[in-house]
Structure 1
Amino acid sequence: MTPDSQDRPQCANSDALASSFSASYAGVVAFIAVATEGSFARAGDRLGIGRSAVSRSVQKLEAQLGTRLFLRTTRSTTLTREGELFYRNCHPGVERIVQALEDMRDLREGPPRGQLRISATVGFGRRIVAPLLSGFRERYPNIAVDLLLDDRTTDFSAERVDVAFRNGRMEDSQIIAKQLIPMPMLICASPTYRHTHGLPRQVEDLAAHNCINFRTASGRIFEWEFKVGGRIQKFLPSSTCTFNDEELVLQAVLDGQGIAQMAGYQISEHLRTGRLVACLAQYAPDDRGHYLCYLSRQQLPARIRVFIDFMTAGIRALDLQCATGLTPILPVPASKVSAAFTASVA
């Protein structure tokens, strides 16, 4: 016997099963409707089809089962003994299917409820997202929240994530990315450091300062970025300290150990209170942002829609626009800055 001939009976059985299911499903639904309503006409009204269509579906089911399911007279329609047995066996399954359909409709249109899995980078998630969750849970107590903090790029499918917060520039065209706020990147120092060492007035001055670097989740050192002559330039300074945690970078700067380039959401409060000062603001890149990401705009469950709306309003209400009102140091000509970048790379 060849492998093909061995496979043939299984394929035939699968086709028979598929054919049987497709033929019987409509009959079972029609049968349950007639049994529940006690009439073919009322069953048709409930299903939104004609009486004759209901009758044909039931007749096909009876032929498939090889037994009569109803006793029909001009005045009544009642179940046979076999019909009663079949009804008892089928009814729970059909009820579960109906309930499943209603549950899906409720998730889309009803009061928000269910499990919501969220992903965010460690720094932004801890400092911005997590504090807003208590207000969200208070407003929507039937939504259970699962927050994952990870600096790696989110895999929506593998990690079963509903919504993700991402920072920087969005290059993934497969997801919907809604910018919440811009993400200014500023060079900062403590007043103590400024008093002792001064501040860089141009990019080439960074080589003379104690720089503190951040190591990303991939293991590489985060490159400082500046916008020079309308173009993004990257710069990797020599560092006195390197950390793989953004909070440790911030704390080192607050302690006066050096200067670092940090995101606005980390430093806005410290800039307002004077615990930090910023410099080189005229070269801050302006094409970064904080984004709320999800896979599709279509058929979003209510729990995801209300979370998106709540977080968008909540984050935009925070005063994180730390670059506003900064007095920029007089810029150096772009040609000189570009030369400084070339020298630093070399």
Structure 2
Amino acid sequence: MPQRGFRPGPPDRADGLSASFAASYAGIIAFMAVATEGSFSKAGERLGIGRSAVSRNVLKLETQLSTRLFLRTTRTTQLTREGERFFENCHQGVAHIVEAMNDMLELRLGPPSGLLRISATAGFGRKVVAPLLSKFSAAYPDISLDLVLDDRPTDFAAGNIDVAFRNGRIEDSSIVAKQLIPMQMAVCASPAYAARHGLPSTLEDIARHECINTRIAGARILEWEFKVEGHVRKVVPAARLTFNDPELVLAAVLDGLGIAQMAGYQACDRIARGELVIAMGRYAPDDRGHYICYLSRQHLPSRIRVFVDFMTEEIRALNLHCLADFYTDYSTTGYRSFR
């Protein structure tokens, strides 16, 4: 029972507008189907609803417009003059809606096309992702590619990013993160440096060496990470040199200027050619990865789907998870001669 003296306020205008729009939309769809098919029964079959539902929706629309749209007899259903005018005015709008829906289905189910915006960390992007893009473009010429190199965490919305490559550990549960390969980390030096100075065998030994650090986004120095007796240990050594580009770190190590911890994708080919040697391999972390990330598995556009599949196959075939193939820990055996 309403309280004495209580007078209900006017209905919520937003709710009224929503209800009006819903009724109009259903009525217009029913009206267009009847006008196209020439009968309420055939319109119901086309829309997958009963004849009576079609009739109710059209009647509500006529009431809302205060206009009779059809002349109905037991044998025929014809548009009134007002109905013909309304049909012509609605036809273009409905055609645009159908075109928009078909366009969305084409993105999902049709040949891959459109712009694909990709984010990757600077090192992995230059070394691994960028060299594969020409092959992808040859396979999918209707997809345009925009690669952004950025070491900061990916903001998919602000950056309009479709796919991101990320390294390390993914803690964001709001994205889909597919591991491409485990991420190996190794303390590396040139054979010349190892011959002159030896190599560290413990975390404490690192302080006695010339170290080269990497500065990442936000001006933070990237920690050297190790796994000691099952626990993660991080070290930020005093550095002789610091760079904000992994390629410059690699170049300095190759020049014999010091030691650095770097990812396997940077070092594997150099180790295979004898240009780098590994130290402290027994302390290498084993719970990191290289990931390809996107926002949702549902309703994935075909351009994203084929790119993820292509990159997964191609990167796994590169044998970037390879440090064990060349592993000799010279920090324990000593390095005495060049290869």
Same fold (TM over 0.5): yes
- Report how far residue 299 of structure 1 moved: 2.4
SS in 1 for 2:217: coil
Q: Is the 8 A contact 1:33 1:46 kept in 2?
A: yes
Aligned match of 1:322: 322
Distance 2:156 2:301 in 1: 16
Question: What is the DSSP-based 3-state SS (H/G/I as helix, E as strand, rest coil) of the residue aligned with 2:218?
Answer: coil
**Where does the alignment leave 5 or more consecutive residues of structure 2 unmatched?**
1-8, 334-339
Q: Trace 1:104-123 onto structure 2 (pairs within 5 A).
A: 104-123=104-123
Q: Which runs of 5+ in 1 are unaligned?
A: 1-7, 333-346
CA distance in 2, matches of 1:174, 1:21: 33
The residue type paired with residue 283 of structure 1 is Y
Provide the C-alpha distance between the structure 1 equivalents of 2:76 and 2:142, rounded to a whole number of angstroms.
Answer: 46
Q: What is the SS of the residue equivalent to 2:145? A: strand
Q: Within 5 A, what are the aligned runs for 1:170-181?
A: 170-181=170-181
Superimposed CA distance per residue, residues 67-87 of structure 1 (whole angstroms, 9 cap, x where no aligned partner): 111223344322221111111
Q: Which amino acid aligns with 2:158?
A: A
- Is the CA contact 2:278–2:330 (under 8 Å) kept in the aligned structure 1? no
| Superposed displacement of residue 108, structure 1 | 2.2
- 2:145 is the alignment partner of 1:145: yes
2:71 is aligned with 1:71: yes
Change in CA separation of 1:185 and 1:125 when aligned onto 2, cut-off 3 Å: same
1:165 to partner: Cα distance:
1.1
For residues 197-216 of structure 1, the C-alpha deviation after alignment (integer angstroms, 9 at most, x for no partner) is 23223333322221111111
Q: Counterpart of 2:62?
A: 62
Distance in 2 separating the partners of 1:124 and 1:134: 16
Equivalent position of 2:5 in the other structure: none
Cα deviations by residue, 1:144-186 (Å, 9 ceiling, x for unpaired): 2222210000112222222211111122222222111111111
Alignment-derived partner of residue 304 in structure 2? 304
Task: Provide the C-alpha distance between the structure 1 equivalents of 2:141 and 2:73, rounded to a whole number of angstroms.
Answer: 54
Per mean C-alpha deviation after superposition, the further-off stretch among 257-266 and 91-100 is 91-100
Instruction: Tell me the distance in 2 between the aligned counterparts of 1:191 and 1:183.
Output: 24
Question: What is the rounded CA distance, in whole Å, between the counterparts of 2:313 and 2:108 in structure 1?
Answer: 21
Contact 2:198 2:331 in 1 (8 A): no
Q: For 1:145 and 1:170, how far apart are their aligned partners in 2?
A: 24
Are positions 1:236 and 2:236 aligned together? yes
Give the share of equivalent positions with the same residue, in percent.
65
Contact 2:226–2:234 (Cα < 8 Å) also in 1: yes
**Structure 1 residue 97 displacement after superposition:** 1.4
> In the alignment, what sits opposite 1:5?
none
Contact 1:169 1:287 in 2 (8 A): yes
One-letter identity of the residue aligned with 1:121? T
Task: Give matches, 1:1-346, under 5 Å.
Answer: 12-325=12-325, 326-329=327-330
Displacement, 1:329? Answer: 4.7
Q: CA offsets, 1:196-255, max 9 Å, x none?
A: 323223333322221111111121211111211121111222211111111111111111
TM-score (norm 1): 0.88
Deviation (angstroms), 1:187: 1.0
Contact 2:278 2:328 in 1 (8 A): no
- CA distance in 1: counterparts of 2:296 and 2:151, whole angstroms: 23
TM-score norm. by structure 2 comes to 0.89
Q: C-alpha separation between the residues in 2 aligned to 1:250 and 1:15? A: 63
3-state SS of paired residue (2:324): coil
Output the CA distance in 2 between the equivalents of 1:118 and 1:193: 38
2:277–2:330 contact (8 Å) kept in structure 1: no
Aligned residues: CA RMSD: 2.0
**What displacement does 1:91 show?**
1.0
Quote the Cα distance in structure 1 between the aligned partners of 2:217 and 2:140: 33
Distance 2:140 2:43 in 1: 39
For 1:54, the aligned partner's letter is: V
- Asked if 2 retains the 8 angstrom alpha-carbon contact of 1:282 and 1:331, the reply is no
Superposed CA deviations along residues 50-104 of structure 1, whole A, max 9, x for unmatched, are: 2222122112211111111122334432222111111111111111112222222
